[in-house]
Chain A
């Protein structure tokens, strides 16, 4: 029993965080939004980092890491509001193919020349596919109508898990932006962040985020360990992460005041991604019902002795 990421895992995540912070800042998001939102150089950078092959087995040339590590990296993609659909291809699509034993051609995913668009019946579209374009509120999300959808629950669980992971990263980033703004914006002769009216709201976001994270990591480990209860934990994670992200998004725009309502402040990119992911791969009602069925329906053992049931 050791509810911690290893130093190696944390180092990997920090490497991705630093790389994205250095190469994928808000100025890049703005450039993408204004000049066409895909840039092969960004994708190639992710390939060079080994991220497209993160979940590809070593025999196919990947790193062969598990879902907890992938979730940790997905959170970093959320933190950076990464435009490229890396998470869909590499952390949802690849583990789904691997689970079905479909290993052919994964070398091409590692090399970055093959994408794995994933579409589930619960949201019948995919990221960066070949079908007719749909317009998302998120300007960096290229949705296309899916020709074929799957109703495989394993695919849905992978998608929901990685959405939850991105949402905690997105929430972290929005909280950070709000805090930084509250430190420099002065009114009534002091930084607005010195007012308890703002402090307490931001502290409440911190509580929601920090108690959503371990739920996400637990869900990732439950998927990795193939627990029968894993779908319940994924749904728990999706609800907790969505609630934390929505609270933080609404608090962050409030802290920015009228500036928060402008295109000029960066916050909107993260906020729009959060809205999109909250509804994707099973919305709040869907996941809450799965938890409800298990907890009130009695299929999941509950109580103090069942922390890791």
Chain B
């Protein structure tokens, strides 16, 4: 165990810090969940790419910098220190990208990764269906082979970024006689293909971050299939591992929130309850614990290890931490918590953040599913319904 940064790592931190201080927008962008905000966030992705910061861990040949996971964590820390915006392409760079790196052909890597890193192609995910939410193996949308194409028919829902994104990925049933986890195939598709209809879903805050997707005989070239027909479930599980285990929510995000929460506490200390005060201190502690754990996971992966079912612990921890921090902020704000804009005209980011934090324990596999996975695969308890 060695918890010091090397001179090279410190120099890298200084380089990231200088660039971020010069480039991160001074004012918060409009929420990613509307057209105006989406366009602002895509513009930011391209600014990041102009500094070659799109995805620092990827090889240079695919638009990255070939850096290791410790450097990625340093990058993320500095990104959130500077108040960097949410990543419009998080479905691409954090989920699909690592999946293509592991399962894709050389041709697929060349074709998809660089435009992803450069923010030229923004990705939506398309996992859930109306009848397949937590139970993802109940997927029914079909992809029928026709020559060198798949013909996709069906419906996806809760597709993040799908209201505006360029491309999408999901799993589809390629074997019509298959059941559950078998006969599924991971397919990438152009969101503007003929036959795709997007119906943005209005969320509880009024904006439209996700969408329903209707597929009516959408033709997708066979070469857009990842890792071979019938391999979809395994590939999707790997993607979910990246999502829950490491990449989607780096610690810097929560450490930055905890720091803002401390500042909010100081500004409201005279009227804060002892319980809120303790919650603020615990928020710092939990965000730090999450960071230590992530450094441990990064070290393990760098030594050749893999992320297994423990990714579920991670997802439970950060999503419930995020909700708890924002709930505490709402308590500290008191009567002002309900205001969408404060008296000085600034947006109530805590309110927006609280509403968003309520989705954390639901998306990327509900926390109930994560607790089942933890109990069954890590602790070895019997599967649900087992006799």
**Residue pair B251, A304 in contact (C-beta under 8 Å):** yes
In the complex, what's the smallest C-beta–C-beta distance from B125 to chain A, in angstroms?
Answer: 25
Chain B neighbourhood of A215, CB < 8 A:
285, 288-289, 292
**Residue pair A308, B3 in contact (C-beta under 8 Å):** yes
Task: Tell me whether A288 and B1 are in contact in the complex, defined as CB-CB below 8 angstroms, given that A1-B6, A183-B382, A190-B387 are known contacts.
Answer: no
**Residue pair B289, A304 in contact (C-beta under 8 Å):** no
**B101-109, B273-281, B340-348 - interface stretch:** B273-281
**Residue pair A206, B313 in contact (C-beta under 8 Å):** yes
Size of the chain B interface, CB-CB below 8 angstroms: 65
Nearest chain B residue, comparing its CB with the CB of A293:
B281
**Residue pair A175, B6 in contact (C-beta under 8 Å):** no
Chain B neighbourhood of A100, CB < 8 A:
none
Rounded to whole angstroms, the CA-CA distance of A302 and B261 in the bound complex is 11
Nearest chain A residue, comparing its CB with the CB of B284:
A295
**A25-33, A120-128, A217-225 - interface stretch:** A217-225
**Residue pair B3, A218 in contact (C-beta under 8 Å):** yes
Q: Give the number of residue pairs across the A-B interface with Cβ within 8 Å.
A: 175
Interface size range of chain A in the complex: 35 or more
Q: Dominant SS at the A interface?
A: helix
> A307 on the interface (CB 8 Å rule)?
yes
List residues of A (169-217) whose CB comes within 8 Å of B's CBs.
175, 179, 182-183, 189-191, 193-194, 196, 198-200, 202-204, 206-207, 210-212, 214-215, 217
Q: Dominant SS at the B interface?
A: helix
Chain A neighbourhood of B370, CB < 8 A:
203
In the complex, what's the smallest C-beta–C-beta distance from B283 to chain A, in angstroms?
Answer: 9
In the complex, what's the smallest C-beta–C-beta distance from A157 to chain B, in angstroms?
Answer: 17
Task: Tell me whether A291 and B317 are in contact in the complex, defined as CB-CB below 8 angstroms, given that A304-B251, A307-B251 are known contacts.
Answer: no
**Residue pair A305, B262 in contact (C-beta under 8 Å):** no
**Residue pair B368, A288 in contact (C-beta under 8 Å):** no
**Residue pair B313, A207 in contact (C-beta under 8 Å):** yes
**Residue pair B375, A202 in contact (C-beta under 8 Å):** yes
Rounded to whole angstroms, the CA-CA distance of A296 and B310 in the bound complex is 32
Task: Tell me whether A189 and B387 are in contact in the complex, defined as CB-CB below 8 angstroms, given that A304-B77, A305-B13 are known contacts.
Answer: yes
Chain A neighbourhood of B1, CB < 8 A:
2-6, 9, 68, 217, 221
| Bitwise interface map of A from 137 to 152 toward B, beta carbon under 8 Å scored 1, else 0 | 0000000000000000
> A236 on the interface (CB 8 Å rule)?
yes
**Residue pair A203, B379 in contact (C-beta under 8 Å):** yes
**Residue pair A221, B3 in contact (C-beta under 8 Å):** yes
> B121 on the interface (CB 8 Å rule)?
no
Task: Tell me whether A202 and B259 are in contact in the complex, defined as CB-CB below 8 angstroms, given that A211-B286, A211-B289, A217-B1 are known contacts.
Answer: no
| Bitwise interface map of B from 280 to 302 toward A, beta carbon under 8 Å scored 1, else 0 | 11001110111111011011100
**Residue pair B259, A1 in contact (C-beta under 8 Å):** no
Task: Tell me whether A210 and B77 are in contact in the complex, defined as CB-CB below 8 angstroms, given that A179-B379, A218-B3 are known contacts.
Answer: no
Residues of chain A at the chain B interface (Cβ within 8 Å): 1-6, 9, 68, 175, 179, 182-183, 189-191, 193-194, 196, 198-200, 202-204, 206-207, 210-212, 214-215, 217-218, 221-222, 225, 236, 239-240, 288, 291-292, 295-296, 302-308
Instruction: Known pairs A304-B77, A304-B78; list 11 more (Cβ under 8 Å).
Output: A3-B1, A4-B303, A175-B379, A200-B371, A200-B372, A207-B316, A210-B310, A210-B313, A215-B292, A222-B3, A296-B281
Residues of chain B at the chain A interface (Cβ within 8 Å): 1-6, 9, 13, 17, 70, 76-78, 80-81, 251-253, 255-256, 258-259, 262, 265-266, 277-278, 280-281, 284-286, 288-293, 295-296, 298-300, 303, 310, 313, 316-317, 368, 370-372, 374-376, 378-387
Residue pairs across A and B with Cβ atoms less than 8 A apart, 11 shown, are A190-B382, A194-B383, A203-B316, A203-B375, A210-B293, A212-B289, A217-B292, A291-B281, A291-B284, A296-B280, A304-B253
